[in-house]
């Protein structure tokens, strides 16, 4: 363990950069390799605690990627990084730490947890994030035999894998199936994992605080894990998870819509065991009246319900798996984006039928856009001219104004239609149950 305050010159420099907010300099030092990522300043603070206290989510991520201990507790008053992020009120930093396995029950020297400290300083968003987040401790409970049990329900070795799976924010069935394909341990142990997840659903529904969101999320993930396992074991479809991915990404012949994804999510929600719950009623009321293929999709509704509005906008995401990073447009039509070649390959069977037409649509949009820009340019030069008192001239000018606006509308209409609709529809999602 690092000793308090015993810092090398570079480590001192690192703290100084973090304190002053010189992020780039701090990053340079970290990648130089001669600073210990968990070094302690004179108060026992690690660089991660420092970044958390400043509410810097990206810096926290970077430090964790370098191996920082999320639960370091050598602070003089036993504060943890999570307590600091709660005090700062940064929801993003708090989420990053929770996802990395920060202990929510750790107490400082006055016996206060991170959530209690957050509540004390009025950071209610951080507090509710912690309360609706599956913690490592929630899982560890199942690694000890309870009551008359001889064997625990969950092997301790599976806690990290299950935790990582359960805290994912990406709810697209395609993305989840891809994740399970890469993490065979989850598939191989699906029976015990699903059992634990179902117990978590039950305990969250029955808890006095009613963590319905967490319960629905656990149910949804357990449902997809079960489905993937069935494909893997050949009980459903063929070719295992690979076949499942092909099945999910096969578009509807008429319009390429991922009908199988939509049906699967609707089925997952319907199979929730607690229909009296508000969250269940809300989801069903929002999704049931929507014609399949129209917005909002079941994926955007459930994502918004679990992760919030900001995460439910997939307009710039990979059209197959909803990944946000490294999305490149199909070079032929420039209308759909993919995060990887494998996503593009999965989609090609469907997309090849629409690519040509989409390319034509793109051309049309481009022409319209250019035209609108040209009109705007003319408009601008007209406006820059000295104002004429002549009424007739004024009319012409007004006429042009209207026209250029209309042009612009047509130009961007198609492009933004999906995004706009998603937003509009999202706004309509009811937050209060209206039925009986
Ligand atoms: Zn993708
Ligand atoms: Zn294309």
pLDDT at 179 (0 to 100): 96
pLDDT at 197 (0 to 100): 97
Give the end-to-end CA distance of the chain in Å, rounded to a whole number: 59
DSSP 332-367: TTSSSEESSHHHHHHHHHHHTTTHHHHHHHHHHHHH
For ligand 2, the distance from its centroid to the CA atom of residue 133, given in whole angstroms, is 39
For ligand 2, the distance from its centroid to the CA atom of residue 356, given in whole angstroms, is 7
For ligand 2, the distance from its centroid to the CA atom of residue 310, given in whole angstroms, is 27
Ligand closest to CA 354: 2
For ligand 2, the distance from its centroid to the CA atom of residue 311, given in whole angstroms, is 25
pLDDT per residue of the chain (436 residues) written in tens, 0 to 9: 577 878 999 999 999 999 998 999 999 998 887 899 999 999 999 999 999 999 999 999 999 999 999 999 999 999 999 999 999 999 999 999 998 999 988 999 999 999 999 989 998 888 878 877 888 888 999 999 988 889 999 999 999 999 999 988 889 999 999 999 999 999 999 999 999 999 999 998 988 667 888 999 999 999 999 999 999 999 999 999 999 999 999 999 999 999 999 999 999 999 999 999 999 999 999 999 999 999 999 999 999 888 777 778 898 999 999 999 999 999 999 999 999 999 999 999 999 999 999 999 999 999 999 999 888 888 777 766 665 544 444 433 333 333 333 333 333 334 343 333 333 333 333 344 433 3
For ligand 2, the distance from its centroid to the CA atom of residue 353, given in whole angstroms, is 9
Beta bridge partners of 208: none
Answer whether 100's CB lies under 8 Å from 82's CB: no
For ligand 2, the distance from its centroid to the CA atom of residue 414, given in whole angstroms, is 16
Q: Which helix (H) or strand (E) is 384 found in, with range?
A: helix 355-384
Answer whether 240's CB lies under 8 Å from 232's CB: yes
For ligand 1, the distance from its centroid to the CA atom of residue 106, given in whole angstroms, is 37
Tell me how far apart the alpha carbons of residues 431 and 280 are, in angstroms, rounded to a whole number: 12
Longest dimension (CA), the chain: 95
For ligand 2, the distance from its centroid to the CA atom of residue 265, given in whole angstroms, is 26
For ligand 1, the distance from its centroid to the CA atom of residue 68, given in whole angstroms, is 29
Beta bridge partners of 338: 328
pLDDT at 357 (0 to 100): 94
Ligand closest to CA 319: 1
Three-state secondary-structure class, residue 328: strand
DSSP 229-263: HHHHTTSSSSSHHHHHHHHHT---TTT---HHHHH
pLDDT at 3 (0 to 100): 76
Ligand closest to CA 338: 1
For ligand 2, the distance from its centroid to the CA atom of residue 364, given in whole angstroms, is 15
């Amino acid at each position: 363990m690092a000793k308090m305050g015993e810092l090398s010159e570079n480590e001192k420099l690192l703290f100084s950069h973090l304190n002053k907010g010189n992020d780039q300099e701090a990053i340079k030092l970290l990648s130089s390799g001669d600073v210990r990522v968990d070094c302690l300043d004179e108060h026992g603070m690690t660089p991660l605690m420092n970044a958390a206290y400043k509410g810097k989510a990206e810096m926290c991520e970077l430090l964790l990627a370098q191996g920082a201990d999320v639960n370091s507790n050598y602070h003089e008053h036993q504060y943890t990084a999570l307590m600091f992020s709660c005090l700062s009120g940064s929801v993003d930093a708090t989420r990053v730490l929770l996802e990395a396995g920060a202990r929510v029950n750790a107490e400082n020297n006055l016996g206060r947890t991170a959530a209690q400290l957050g509540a004390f300083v009025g950071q209610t968003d951080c507090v509710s994030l912690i309360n609706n987040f599956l913690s490592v401790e929630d899982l560890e409970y199942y690694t000890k035999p309870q009551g008359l049990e001889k064997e625990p329900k969950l092997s301790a070795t599976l806690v990290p894998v299950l935790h990582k799976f359960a805290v994912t924010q990406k709810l697209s069935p395609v993305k989840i199936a891809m994740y399970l394909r890469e993490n065979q341990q989850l598939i191989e142990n699906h029976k015990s994992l699903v059992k634990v997840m179902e117990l978590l659903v039950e305990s969250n529904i029955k808890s006095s605080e009613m963590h319905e969101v967490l319960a629905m999320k656990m149910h949804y993930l357990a449902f997809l894990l079960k489905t993937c396992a069935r494909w893997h074991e050949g009980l459903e479809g063929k070719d295992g998870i690979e076949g499942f991915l092909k099945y999910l990404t096969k578009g509807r012949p008429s319009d390429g819509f991922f009908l199988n994804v939509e049906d699967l999510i609707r089925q997952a929600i319907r199979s929730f065991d607690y229909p009296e719950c508000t969250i269940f009623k809300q989801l069903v009321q929002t999704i049931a009246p929507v014609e399949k293929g129209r917005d909002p999709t079941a994926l955007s509704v459930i994502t918004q319900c679990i992760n919030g509005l900001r995460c439910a906008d997939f307009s710039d995401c990979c059209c197959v798996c909803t990944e946000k990073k490294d999305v490149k447009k199909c070079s032929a039509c420039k209308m759909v984006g993919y995060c990887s070649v494998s996503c593009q390959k999965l989609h090609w069977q469907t997309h090849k039928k629409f690519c040509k037409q989409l390319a034509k649509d793109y051309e049309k949009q481009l022409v319209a856009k250019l035209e609108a820009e040209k009109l705007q340019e003319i408009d601008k030069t007209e406006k820059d001219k000295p104002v004429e008192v002549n009424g007739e001239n004024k009319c012409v000018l007004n006429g042009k104004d209207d026209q250029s606006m209309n042009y612009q509308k047509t130009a961007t209409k198609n492009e933004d239609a999906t995004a706009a609709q998603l937003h509009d529809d999202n706004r309509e999602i009811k937050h209060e149950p209206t039925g009986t």
